[in-house]
Amino acid sequence: MVARPRTNTTTHFFREERALEMIRDQKARRVWCVGCSTGDEAYSLAMLCLEAAAPVEITATDVNVEALHVAKRAEYPFRNLRHVEPERKARWFKGLQVVDALRNCVRFAHHDIITDVAPAGGFDVILCRHVMVYFTPQEIQRALATIIPALRPGGLLVLAASEWLGTELRAQTPECSWLELTEVGGVIAYQRISPPRTLVQEARVIPVQPVATPALPPKRPPTAPRAELAADRLRREGDTLLDRGAVGLALFQYELALREDSLRPELYLRSALCQLHLGVPDRAREELRRCLFLDPELWPAWIMLGDLLEHVDPERSRGCFERAITLLEGPSPVCEGAFFGSPRVALEATRRHLRSLQEGNATP
């Protein structure tokens, strides 16, 4: 196979539409779209399902952060819409931007199918089209070891029409023995036939909540005990994912937790950390402001804000560090877990950093 650039994000709406129609006809409820690029494929599927009144939750992931930004903005050049019929364009687009009803069906996250753990198993369908074609055989094996356990028994793995899993590759990838080549509605797919999960394989799958249904639960009053419990559970799951480096998926969990309880400063703090990791400092700053509005005593937020402002507004940045130091010197500074370090270590580090800033600024 000729090596092709992995950065290729070429896609368009209704690419190889037959497979998308098959997924709609199967009434697949939970779909994972791996290597979703700018989201055209995920939105096309959402369109078909909504038109058929078939509710669907699509988790769409990609390793390319810029492509994900486009996906979330959901505004496309004409050429990507060339296969969208005029009636559909009128119904599902406002100008060149996808309407909210459709956007609400899809949740996008940063995820590397070769190195990251999978979202929880139980997907009815996993779409992975025109992605593995760029991988080495070893990378394909690793991707499959992540993808296959995430399918529910009976679930379908759908590749592009031109892609298939070669005999040699299947022989060398233990998880492939769980798959059977099948034909559904004129589309070739791989069906998970059995659940022979070993503990080791199971361990690759972290339980996360279903993401983004067409009707995400409305925000509940933060005082409701159920909302509190759900938010706690989602926060814990987010922390586990963050700990394992699955930043995009962790962000999902925190966003879901915030839907349950939007007055949790620690969730905004974690969300800000994820946004920083994902290279979206403006969003991180917004989240930190919300966090500090709700709890001005959360010193990690002051430190992060200080870092973010350091080159933009040095004076305010120093103010943030000073505020963090005051809180850390207090009788019982909050402890927000491993991601933010212990208060004692943070105090020393922030003092040192502030000193170096002041010395740096004092130097002509």
Ligand X SMILES: C[S@@+](CC[C@H](N)C(=O)[O-])C[C@H]1O[C@@H](n2cnc3c(N)ncnc32)[C@H](O)[C@@H]1O
Of 9 and 262, CB closest to ligand X: 9
- Which one of 26, 37, 141, 317 is in contact with ligand X (CB under 6 A)? 37
The closest of 47, 51, 60, 54 to 9, measured between CA atoms, is 60
Q: Does 191 bind ligand X (CB under 6 A)?
A: no
Burial of 95 (0-12, 13-18, 19+ CB in 10 A): exposed
Of 37 and 350, CB closest to ligand X: 37
Question: Could you give the dihedral angle defined by the CA atoms of residues 127, 133, 135 and 139, in that order, rounded to the nearest 10 degrees?
Answer: 50
The stretch among 18-26, 57-65, 195-203, 230-238 that binds ligand X (CB under 6 A) is 57-65
The count of C-alpha atoms lying within 13 angstroms of the C-alpha of 292, restricted to the half-sphere facing its C-beta, is 18
Q: Does 112 bind ligand X (CB under 6 A)?
A: yes
- Which one of 44, 59, 64, 80 is in contact with ligand X (CB under 6 A)? 64
- Which one of 20, 30, 32, 62 is in contact with ligand X (CB under 6 A)? 62
Of 19 and 276, CB closest to ligand X: 19
**d(C-alpha 93, C-alpha 104), whole Å:** 14
Site map 322..361 versus ligand X, x via CB under 6 A: ----------------------------------------
Burial of 47 (0-12, 13-18, 19+ CB in 10 A): buried
What's the per-residue H, E or C state across 243-267? Answer: HCCCHHHHHHHHHHHHHHCCCCHHH
Q: Does 39 bind ligand X (CB under 6 A)?
A: no
Q: Does 10 bind ligand X (CB under 6 A)?
A: yes
Of 10 and 182, CB closest to ligand X: 10
Of 81 and 131, CB closest to ligand X: 131
Q: Which residues bind ligand X (CB under 6 A)?
A: 6, 8-11, 15, 35-37, 41, 62-64, 67, 112-114, 129-131
